[in-house]
A and B are shown apart, each in its own frame.
Chain A
Amino acid sequence: MKHDELFWQRVNVALDERRDPLADDGVQNAIAERPERLDELQRLTSRVTRLPARPRRSRAWLLAAALAAACIVAALRIRSRDDAPPELHALASSPSLGEVIDFELTVTTDRSDERSRVVVDRHGVRNERESSLGSRALSTLTTQVVRSQGNTP
Chain B
Amino acid sequence: MKQFILVPSLVFASIASMLSIVNAAQDSSSAPRVLRILDVRDLLEADARRTASTNGDVVPAAAPTERNPARGEPAPACELDAPNKPTPNAPLSLATHAVEFQEVLERWMRPALDRTKDALQVTQDGTLIAHVTAEGQAWLDNFLALQRREPVLLDMQFCFLSGKKARFDALLPNGGVAFLTNAAAEKLIADSKSGNDISIMQAPRIVAWPRQKNVLSTLDQVAYVKEWRVETVEPDHQQIADPLVDVVQSGILIESRAVLLDEKRIGLETVVTQSDLKIPIATKKVKLAIHGGIEVEIGQPEVTTVSLRTTVMLESNSYALFRGPLAGGDRDVVVLLHATRVDGEMEAAPAKR
Contact = CB atoms under 8 A, between A and B. Distances in A.
Contacts of A120: 175, 322-324
A13 to B, nearest CB: 35
Interface in B1-55: 2, 5-6, 9-10, 12-14, 16-17, 19-20, 23-24, 26-27, 29
Given A88-B112, A109-B304, A74 B16 contact: yes
Given A105-B307, A105-B323, A112-B284, 11 more contacts: A64-B9, A77-B27, A97-B315, A98-B265, A100-B177, A100-B313, A103-B312, A107-B333, A108-B304, A111-B302, A120-B324
A108 B9 contact: no
A150 B306 contact: no
B174 interface: yes
Contacts of B13: 64, 67-68, 70-71
Contacts of A92: 176-179
Interface residues of B, number: 58
19 contacts: A61-B2, A64-B5, A67-B12, A70-B20, A71-B12, A78-B20, A78-B23, A91-B177, A97-B317, A100-B310, A101-B312, A103-B308, A104-B308, A105-B308, A106-B305, A106-B307, A107-B326, A109-B303, A112-B284
Interface in A98-131: 98-112, 116, 118, 120, 124-125
B172 interface: yes
Contacts of A112: 284, 300-301
* Size bin of chain A's contact surface: 35 or more
Nearest to A92: B177
A100 B178 CA distance: 8
